[in-house]
Structure 1
């Protein structure tokens, strides 16, 4: 199927051709015709499958056709609102609208917090057709009377599950209260947990449903692997891997802002161009760091999960989980930064002994074992796994007893996934002291 087969208008087809797009992805094939029929839509698709184009293209077409058939004069009124959780994702959607709509005459702008509102309010005063916004800044501009939503005809809630994760559900409900009752609503999410369905039911009217991949699955074109490594050796392992010239650019994920800064600083000292991006950075610094990464001026971008869904970099070769996330769904979103739009990619994860329960949860979610790479200079030993198993067991006992500190590893297992039972008896790789990969995967499955 080609984009011509979707009955798109010439101005959009011309823009898509300029962008090098020829064949729509499955989510685009299924969503675009339904949206053009002005139906409400509930879409579920994993990150990297082309959701942005799936709703942006038909919105542009419907508004352009309306514009052509109208003799409306005076300032433009906002006809479409796209609500998204992060600044990075909002900017990505804004760029897509500009690219796809360059020949339509439609105007769009993006508003988000963390920067001066003056350029945003200037654009709003001039009149726009499409507004892309994060919840906090949108509500702020509404309160100041810069944004009026009474003319909205199309509403998109993008990355709904992330909205809930980040605590934006009340802000979303405040926005919904002021939207016109009669409108076309589009709801996109990578997962469909019960609370997501409940939210969708408050927004959509007799929606069509589109699901193109199993919920929370990973793209098959992404080659995944895990390295078992001591926590203190992760920096050395990262530098060891970066000696490989095939790693053109790497997006490295940490769990904390401090960790992102530390990793970027350490590898920069070793001569690797690296920058960090996270919520404590100013918006200008984040945009600059991302732009440097896209232009390959920076080889490594170290990010927290605020960037897991908002970064869209063409032909990103590698994603590296310096630390495994404690929520398995986050792993899917992280590695989805590579292998986008049918391209291949590599996702490597570093797992220390206490993180093995996280790996077990990830493998259970994606319904596959992540292959283990043992041939590296910093392997874990059976003793490391045994000590971690003992620590996790003590933490679980303290939690059940209501005493002591909360377990830091979030484990749902009495021993690490992948570690040997009782700290012994496992077969060893040659001279490495680490359990063989097949045993690790077997234990990971049993703990999932």
Structure 2
């Protein structure tokens, strides 16, 4: 008989230090800056520490990864006190390489004070089978993998978990089947011990998750917390802006150039080609951005997100490819997960809009409106993560109004009592007129051949950087700037005058705004620096004497 988390919702809230966690974990949590547990962490950690099977259902960005990582680390530290030998006690399965990388980084952050005691390996991070075999032979405490990778090692007997495994986690369980891991996952279960603790973590309770629950969990506690799919509207604001295809580029250029969008931003488009066209368009105005492309190897995608998280650039363009289904397939409020075919050249274990750990994102911009409700939810979930706030701005054409209305109906059902969720962005479109001719010329300049050439050049460059220069950059870390993903691709001629904004086209209220550098202001700054230089010389008696002497010698 199942327990329910809803019976416990009246209990007094717990903080991390009240969960009987090891001091080393508490110090790591403090270093990560987590002031208090999220709702799902508060409920899940004590239950997992009690060794109960748990089904965790919580929205994207709610802290699910830490909710199972913290108790796993605590249990390993407890067992180390009496363990006679090194064994693998925890297995974390995820449907994509990016999700595996995310879990590994969370665990690394939580074990920073006990890294010499707890060993963790991510099988998707290293491609060399010999290296992985050697690492597995050392019996790491935690193994992170996709089902296909771990199954391969289990079949080859590179790892044996039949006796030692105590905990298994299936992260983003609702995506396991849609990523094609159904058979692999069931085969992995044949290598599991007779008794072990199981944890399923998922953003939705789809039919596939319920099927997994029957196979994997035994008398589980179902943590189906009463919370919306997205953060409250006090934390996450939703805006829409009417715009046809010809206007979207001009509006986006204006918003960025006039600094009306502040903070780190993710721009979502519906195709990879559109992503590269948008990157080339923005670069004409010296607005740096990078494209998250699933055709590139996983290491490069992870490196791209890592640089974005580090703050090397503030704009990333992503194509939400896994939601590109026929519009009718996921427009209802409850829809089954649909398997999607992987295009040739794409990584079958790649996920873009879902599951990648983007940090401190202030804005999500839907340049192309998502094709279904689930896609909108997952795109919006990239911002306002944890206790941070964020904004979602969607450009909506007339043909996309029906899609927007469906999303609005779904959001209203999630936020009872609200009359309107998606507010119209208070932006005066007439202010775009002076920018429009520049934007239209720039957008037309980017042809299909230019986009194709840009994609080919980036793939070739990244292949060369990844393989040929790997050793060099390990020995010369300062030269890693060569690998920046927001560099110009140089397939479109960029006029120099587009980098600055002429003062006459800036709306009057914004002309004195800090950060907007115009041609006129740039010239004035140059003149001011020259005057200051000579003023400093004039104030110096020795400098004055040198100037007088130079005048006499007619050298000045």
TM-score (norm 2): 0.64
1:311 partnered with 2:324: no
Distance in 2, Cα, partners of 1:114 & 1:255: 30
CA gap 1:165/1:254 in 2 versus in 1, 3 angstroms: farther
- Contact 2:230–2:381 (CA under 8 A) maintained in structure 1: no
Which one of the candidate residues 320, 329, 342 is aligned to 2:365? 320
1:32-111 equivalences under 5 Å are 32-72=45-85, 76-104=86-114, 105-111=117-123
Equivalent residue number for residue 268 of structure 1 = 283
Which one of the candidate residues 298, 304, 317 is aligned to 1:289? 304
CA gap 1:207/1:275 in 2 versus in 1, 3 angstroms: same
1:140 partnered with 2:155: no
- Could you tell me which runs of 5 or more consecutive residues in structure 2 were left unpaired when the two chains were aligned: 1-13, 321-350, 413-419, 432-556
Distance in 1, Cα, partners of 2:191 & 2:18: 37
Equivalent residue number for residue 421 of structure 1 = none
Q: CA offset at residue 143 of structure 1?
A: 3.5
CA gap 1:122/1:299 in 2 versus in 1, 3 angstroms: farther
1:146-161 equivalences under 5 Å are 146-150=158-162, 151-161=164-174
Give CA-to-partner distance per residue, 1:213-264, whole Å, 9 cap, x none.
4463444311111122112332222222222535221111222222323322
1:21-420 equivalences under 5 Å are 21-72=34-85, 76-104=86-114, 105-112=117-124, 115-117=127-129, 119-150=131-162, 151-214=164-227, 216-220=229-233, 221-245=235-259, 246-305=261-320, 306-367=351-412, 369-373=421-425, 375-377=427-429
Q: CA offset at residue 191 of structure 1?
A: 0.9
- Contact 2:240–2:425 (CA under 8 A) maintained in structure 1: yes
CA gap 1:167/1:330 in 2 versus in 1, 3 angstroms: farther
CA gap 1:267/1:119 in 2 versus in 1, 3 angstroms: farther
- Contact 1:115–1:283 (CA under 8 A) maintained in structure 2: no
- Could you tell me which runs of 5 or more consecutive residues in structure 1 were left unpaired when the two chains were aligned: 380-448
- Contact 1:278–1:303 (CA under 8 A) maintained in structure 2: yes
Distance in 1, Cα, partners of 2:405 & 2:118: 48
- What's the secondary structure of 1:145's corresponding residue? coil
- What's the secondary structure of 2:21's corresponding residue? coil
- Contact 1:40–1:184 (CA under 8 A) maintained in structure 2: yes
How many pairs were matched up?
376
CA gap 1:131/1:369 in 2 versus in 1, 3 angstroms: same
Distance in 2, Cα, partners of 1:374 & 1:20: 35
- What's the secondary structure of 1:223's corresponding residue? strand
Give CA-to-partner distance per residue, 1:269-307, whole Å, 9 cap, x none.
331111111320122321221122112222211113322
Distance in 2, Cα, partners of 1:121 & 1:277: 31
CA gap 1:369/1:135 in 2 versus in 1, 3 angstroms: same
Equivalent residue number for residue 410 of structure 1 = none
Q: CA offset at residue 142 of structure 1?
A: 3.1
- What's the secondary structure of 1:38's corresponding residue? coil
- Contact 2:309–2:360 (CA under 8 A) maintained in structure 1: no
Give CA-to-partner distance per residue, 1:159-200, whole Å, 9 cap, x none.
112223333333322222322231100011111123322221
CA gap 1:214/1:71 in 2 versus in 1, 3 angstroms: same
Q: CA offset at residue 60 of structure 1?
A: 0.4
TM-score (norm 1): 0.78
Distance in 2, Cα, partners of 1:324 & 1:87: 26
Return 27-36 or 251-260, whichever deviates more.
Answer: 251-260
- Contact 1:252–1:322 (CA under 8 A) maintained in structure 2: yes
Equivalent residue number for residue 339 of structure 2 = none
Q: CA offset at residue 17 of structure 1?
A: 1.5
Q: CA offset at residue 374 of structure 1?
A: 5.8
Q: CA offset at residue 375 of structure 1?
A: 2.8
Distance in 2, Cα, partners of 1:355 & 1:123: 51
CA gap 1:177/1:255 in 2 versus in 1, 3 angstroms: farther
Return 227-236 or 53-62, whichever deviates more.
Answer: 227-236
Distance in 2, Cα, partners of 1:177 & 1:364: 44
Q: CA offset at residue 93 of structure 1?
A: 0.9
Q: CA offset at residue 89 of structure 1?
A: 1.6
- What's the secondary structure of 2:386's corresponding residue? helix
RMSD (CA atoms): 2.3
Q: CA offset at residue 114 of structure 1?
A: 9.0
Distance in 2, Cα, partners of 1:118 & 1:243: 50
